[in-house]
Amino acid sequence: MQRRVVVTGIGLCTPLGLGREASWKACLAGQSGIGPITHFDTTQYSTHFGGEVKGLDPTTFIDKREAKHLDLFVIYALYAAEEAMAHAGLTINPEPADKRGLFDPNLALETGVRPDGSYPCDRIGTFIGAGLGGVSHIESTHTTLTERGPGRISPYFVPQIIINMAPGLLSIRKGIKGPNFSQVSACATGAHAIGEAARTIIDGAADVMIAGGTEATVSPLGVGGFNAMRALSTRNDAPEKASRPFDIDRDGFVIAEGAGILILEERESALRRGAHILAELVGYGRTADGFHMTSPSADGEGAQRCMRMALREAHKHGIGLSDIGYINAHGTSTKQGDIAETVAIKTVFGDHARKLAVSSTKSMTGHMLGAAGGVEAAFSILSILDGAIPPTINLEKPDPECDLDYVPHTARTIKNSVALSNSFGFGGTNATLIFAKHS
């Protein structure tokens, strides 16, 4: 039988709050995490606001000297991963499962959880991605180069900016020796990392995966670059109302930062160690639009195929199309994107689309880019656990072309055992995850 994958831990670091409970509570309350940017002076920029992580002191979980040399995207990832691991009660055994000398194909590898509830260090892996990586250190180092010369570039510069340093440093800090690298697929990064981590467990290369996305691009280049594309909202007089997915008056997305990390485990091992299982990952889709650098096709054809791919996997677990009760939409608050996703959902789900609760939590968090998929996967799981659908805030005048039930303004109590989460990115890359109540 195919190995099954369950979720046993969640870690969040978002503009809504530090940690899983604070972020989810604010999300259900319909609070906005958007406000004036404090990381840098925005006077010369068209957009003056974003979704910043507030109140995080890295020295509470990272040595002060080490923290000084890390980019924020790594710090956010480490914070969320620490919380996720603690939530899962994950114990790492420093003795690897594969401790043999010469290769012997006749010797079976010792896999799964050990009798004491720990996992061998080489049976745990880390897939944590980001869309852009250490942008702020690229900015500051370029200033150093031009003003003081190449001799003053920090020896930490390259480790500060490379994306795989997020999972890399986590593995070093925890002694984790399983599969370790970063997925980089723009705004679908976090979802792709989780989906590929699940495949790694199914394929038998690991028993546990720490997976998700992180981002810290509320910076001069990040904001300036998206402003140059005219992709960001410029509603500077009311930042908390700027992210308005599916609303006729939307004028672009709101840039944000943070991290969302899940602990995935092979189901039988999780049961043997007595883990509290939050949900099961039953479907994963990944496709390409093959259409345009930054825009989806009007009918969301790539998104359609992505959702159908995930639904086909879910069908193997006895889950049908009509079992999906909630969709956490990609819903960025852009003209083309919101319409294309709406059309894709209606095409894939047919008559059932009218019975679905669909919401965009980006209306509250802003768009966390590479971290979005990880955070929204977590929100999808929490919606199943709590029987509550988070709202789409700021939906005051629905776009006539966006005509589904987007759970406007207020969270909704609903019994729902299956949730689908969409993530789409520049380059025409798509990811869909489906989570189900564990049974």
292-317 pLDDT per residue, tens: 999 999 999 999 999 999 999 999 99
3-state secondary structure of 327: strand
Specify whether 27 is catalytic: no
**What counts of helices (H) and strands (E) characterise the chain?**
13, 17
Per-residue pLDDT, 30: 98
pLDDT above 90: residue 238? yes
Per-residue pLDDT, 98: 86
Q: Are 435 and 293 in contact (CB under 8 A)?
A: no
Q: Are 429 and 186 in contact (CB under 8 A)?
A: yes
For residue 410, CA distances in Å to 4, 221, 390, 392, 407 come to 35, 35, 7, 8, 7
Half-sphere exposure of 419 (CA within 13 A, CB side): 30
Q: Taking the C-alpha atoms of 257, 260, 261 and 267 in order, what is their torsion angle to the nearest 10 degrees?
A: -160
Calculate mean pLDDT across residues 247-271.
98
Q: Kindly indicate the confidence band of residue 44, based on its pLDDT and cuts at 50, 70 and 90.
A: very high
Calculate mean pLDDT across residues 1-14.
95
Calculate mean pLDDT across residues 66-77.
96
Per-residue pLDDT, 356: 97
Handedness of CA 147, 149, 150, 152 (dihedral sign): negative
Q: Give the end-to-end CA distance of the chain in Å, rounded to a whole number.
A: 17
Q: For residues 281 and 381, give the distance between their C-alpha atoms in angstroms, rounded to a whole number.
A: 9
Return phi, psi of residue 111, to 5°.
-120, 170
pLDDT above 80: residue 389? yes
Residue spans of the domains in the chain: they are 5-100+108-436
State the DSSP H helix or E strand holding residue 383, giving kind and residue range, or none if neither: helix 372-386
Return phi, psi of residue 357, to 5°.
-90, 125
Q: For residues 60 and 79, give the distance between their C-alpha atoms in angstroms, rounded to a whole number.
A: 10
pLDDT tens-digit profile of 349-385? Answer: 999 999 999 999 999 999 999 999 999 999 999 999 9
Q: Kindly indicate the confidence band of residue 242, based on its pLDDT and cuts at 50, 70 and 90.
A: very high
Q: Which amino acid is at 413?
A: T
- What does pTM read for this prediction? 0.97
Handedness of CA 139, 144, 150, 153 (dihedral sign): negative
Residue from 79, 100, 109 nearest 14 by CA: 79
The residues, any chain, with a CB within 8 Å of residue 185's CB and separated by 6 or more, are 129, 131, 192, 425, 427, 429, 431
For residue 215, CA distances in Å to 113, 178, 222, 244, 348 come to 32, 23, 11, 21, 31
Q: For residues 324 and 144, give the distance between their C-alpha atoms in angstroms, rounded to a whole number.
A: 52
Per-residue pLDDT, 275: 98
Q: For residues 316 and 228, give the distance between their C-alpha atoms in angstroms, rounded to a whole number.
A: 45
Q: Are 63 and 248 in contact (CB under 8 A)?
A: no
Q: What percent of the chain has pLDDT over 70?
A: 99
Among residues 306, 330, 402, 438, the one annotated as catalytic is: 330
Q: For residues 121 and 95, give the distance between their C-alpha atoms in angstroms, rounded to a whole number.
A: 6
Per-residue pLDDT, 289: 95
Per-residue pLDDT, 111: 82
pLDDT tens-digit profile of 267-293? Answer: 999 999 999 999 999 999 999 999 999
Q: Kindly indicate the confidence band of residue 322, based on its pLDDT and cuts at 50, 70 and 90.
A: very high
Per-residue pLDDT, 10: 98
Residue from 185, 254, 243 nearest 423 by CA: 185
3-state secondary structure of 232: strand
pLDDT above 80: residue 1? no
User: Helix 220-228 to helix 135-148 angle, to the nearest 10 degrees?
Assistant: 100
Neighbours of 183 (CB within 10 A): 28
Among residues 187, 192, 402, 438, the one annotated as catalytic is: 187
Specify whether 69 is catalytic: no
What kind of fold does domain 5-100+108-436 have according to CATH? Peroxisomal Thiolase; Chain A, domain 1 (3.40.47)
Calculate mean pLDDT across residues 84-96.
97
Neighbours of 418 (CB within 10 A): 23
Q: For residues 5 and 211, give the distance between their C-alpha atoms in angstroms, rounded to a whole number.
A: 13
97: its two tokens: 């499962």
pLDDT above 90: residue 100? no
pLDDT tens-digit profile of 103-153? Answer: 777 776 778 999 999 999 999 999 999 999 999 999 999 999 999 999 999
- When comparing pLDDT for 414 and 192, which is higher? 192
Q: For residues 216 and 382, give the distance between their C-alpha atoms in angstroms, rounded to a whole number.
A: 24
Per-residue pLDDT, 105: 75
Average confidence score pLDDT of the chain: 96
DSSP state of 367: B
Q: Are 16 and 22 in contact (CB under 8 A)?
A: yes
Among residues 87, 137, 192, 367, the one annotated as catalytic is: 367
Q: Kindly indicate the confidence band of residue 246, based on its pLDDT and cuts at 50, 70 and 90.
A: very high
pLDDT above 80: residue 341? yes
Specify whether 39 is catalytic: no
Q: Are 345 and 104 in contact (CB under 8 A)?
A: no
Among 187-191, 201-205, 216-220, 414-418, the minimum mean pLDDT is found in 414-418
Q: Which amino acid is at 46?
A: S
Per-residue pLDDT, 332: 98
pLDDT above 80: residue 427? yes
